[in-house]
């Protein structure tokens, strides 16, 4: 019997789709389990292929217990499946499933290290995914100290392993270390290390090296960040194959300039980014539910509600105009009604959005909603 699965994973999610495996040791495994796993895995592949990574990540995590049954005598493919779960979960910072994924990510590291060696590409990338998942798990976790302790231990292990390694997988690990670092100076140091290694492996003008430089720039103060990103952008003027990367840099610069009140400069970068996405066929339809602010003002807690210990929320709907400001917010839901309405409306009026671009011009977007929560500090 053949089982649709994984022979060897590569770094790219898209590469996962072409992999199949032949399992010859399935005599002791229930046919229904095999059929169910085949069905689940085919659905995961389809979700990845269609770009629905959140759903694929959740599905892969849910199917992990069944994978353990099906691959109970096949450690290589079980390791590959754990690797897939970790890889997908590492792309989902807000999924809420990070804590559940941590044990599987840890097993992926252990098994890949055992199968391929501690500093193999498979093991180092599995370790990168684990660090990212641990970082995500810190958000809103009840036992933050336990997760933080695990993260510190794994960070120290990663630093020792990668110290003298100069491979693309090592550079990926440095980027993961940058994301989990506790100080800005360490985060920038790790990003710089990633950029240097990528430049050595792929070349200074490679997509990987430039992306790492862009990642490193985010740890600079706003004005220095603008200068660094502008310098990177200028160096890419003749690099037509890096159009998507240039679009991303334009978008970052648009945000940085609007935060500094430089709206005309921001708009130029915003339009440049939009035009690049259109050339690449990646321009997205304007969807109000996916429109998120780049600046959110903290609402002022009403004194009476604070004194009485009242908590609640307000859901507002409004139009975002051509300059990226929320216009005429209206309450569409509130609990308790009337308690936090005014504070929520005043906060929303201070929100800033990156204006949406259509046919080279900024356009207003109606039906934008936001939920503002009022909770007492612990």
* 295-309: pLDDT as tens digits: 999 999 999 999 999
pLDDT, tens digit, for every residue of 10-53? 334 433 433 343 444 455 677 888 889 989 999 999 999 888 88
Q: Which of 200, 195, 143 is nearest to 172 (CA)?
A: 195
Length of the chain: 378
Q: Is the pLDDT of residue 5 over 60?
A: no
Neighbours of 235 (CB within 10 A): 13
Structural tokens at position 329:
């917010």
Separation CA 369–CA 374 (nearest Å): 17
Q: Is the pLDDT of residue 256 over 70?
A: yes
CATH of domain 14-165: 1.25.40
Mean pLDDT of the chain: 88
Per-residue pLDDT at 197: 97
Confidence of residue 291 (pLDDT cuts 50, 70, 90): confident
Which whole-number Å values give the CA distances from 322 to 210, 266, 365, in the listed order?
32, 13, 8
pLDDT, tens digit, for every residue of 210-219? 999 999 999 9
Separation CA 6–CA 78 (nearest Å): 9
Contact 87, 9 (CB under 8 A): yes
Q: Is the pLDDT of residue 277 over 90?
A: no
Confidence of residue 276 (pLDDT cuts 50, 70, 90): confident
**Sign of the alpha-carbon torsion through 292, 293, 296, 299:** negative
Give the SS3 label for residue 312: strand
pLDDT, tens digit, for every residue of 78-122? 999 999 999 999 988 877 888 899 999 999 999 999 999 999 999
Q: Which one-letter DSSP state was computed for residue 16?
A: G
Q: Is the pLDDT of residue 286 over 70?
A: no
Separation CA 344–CA 337 (nearest Å): 12
- Cα angle 13-19-20, degrees, rounded to a multiple of 5: 150
Torsion of CA 287, 288, 294, 298, to 10 degrees: -160
Contact 107, 82 (CB under 8 A): yes
Per-residue pLDDT at 170: 97
Per-residue pLDDT at 23: 45
Separation CA 34–CA 279 (nearest Å): 44
Neighbours of 95 (CB within 10 A): 19
Contact 74, 28 (CB under 8 A): no
Separation CA 17–CA 10 (nearest Å): 10
Cis upstream peptide for 336 (omega within 30°): yes
Q: Which residue has the higher pLDDT, 202 or 279?
A: 202
pLDDT, tens digit, for every residue of 111-128? 999 999 999 999 999 999
Q: At the top level of CATH, which class does the domain 288-374 belong to?
A: alpha beta
Separation CA 340–CA 334 (nearest Å): 8
Per-residue pLDDT at 142: 64
pTM of the model: 0.78
Strand-pairing partners, residue 333, are: 315
Per-residue pLDDT at 287: 66
């Amino acid at each position: 019997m053949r089982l649709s699965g994984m022979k060897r994973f590569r770094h790219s999610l898209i590469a996962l789709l072409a992999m199949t495996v032949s399992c010859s040791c399935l005599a002791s495994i229930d046919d229904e389990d095999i059929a169910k796993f085949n069905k689940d895995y085919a659905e995961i592949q389809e979700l990845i292929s269609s770009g629905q990574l959140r759903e694929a990540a959740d599905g892969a995590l849910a199917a992990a217990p069944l994978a353990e049954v099906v691959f109970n005598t096949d450690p290589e493919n079980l390791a590959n499946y754990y690797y897939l779960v970790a890889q997908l979960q590492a792309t989902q910072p807000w999924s809420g499933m990070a804590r559940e994924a941590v044990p599987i990510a840890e097993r992926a590291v252990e098994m890949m290290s055992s199968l391929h060696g501690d500093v193999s590409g498979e093991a180092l990338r599995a370790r990168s995914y684990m660090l990212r998942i641990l970082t995500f798990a810190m958000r809103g976790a009840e036992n933050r100290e336990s997760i933080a302790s695990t993260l510190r231990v794994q960070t120290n292990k990663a630093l020792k392993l990668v110290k003298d390694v100069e491979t693309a997988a090592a550079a990926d690990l440095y980027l993961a270390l940058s994301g989990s670092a506790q100080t800005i100076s360490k985060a920038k140091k790790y990003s710089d290390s990633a950029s240097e290694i990528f430049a050595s492996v792929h070349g200074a003008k490679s997509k990987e090296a430039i992306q790492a430089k862009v990642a490193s720039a985010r740890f600079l103060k706003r004005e220095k960040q603008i200068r660094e990103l502008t310098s990177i952008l200028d160096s890419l003027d003749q690099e037509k194959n890096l159009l998507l990367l240039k679009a991303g840099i334009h978008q970052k610069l648009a945000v940085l300039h609007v935060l500094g009140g430089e709206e005309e400069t921001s708009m130029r970068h915003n339009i440049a980014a939009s035009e690049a996405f259109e050339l690449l066929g990646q321009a997205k339809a304007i969807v109000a539910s996916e429109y998120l602010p780049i600046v959110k003002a903290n609402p002022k807690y009403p004194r009476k509600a604070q004194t009485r210990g009242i908590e609640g929320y307000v859901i507002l709907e409004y139009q975002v105009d051509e300059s990226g400001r929320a216009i005429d917010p209206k309450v569409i839901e509130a609990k308790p009604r009337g308690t936090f309405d005014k504070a929520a409306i005043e906060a929303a009026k201070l929100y800033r959005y990156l204006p949406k671009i259509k046919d080279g011009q900024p356009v207003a977007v109606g039906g934008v909603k936001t939920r503002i929560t009022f909770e007492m500090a612990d």
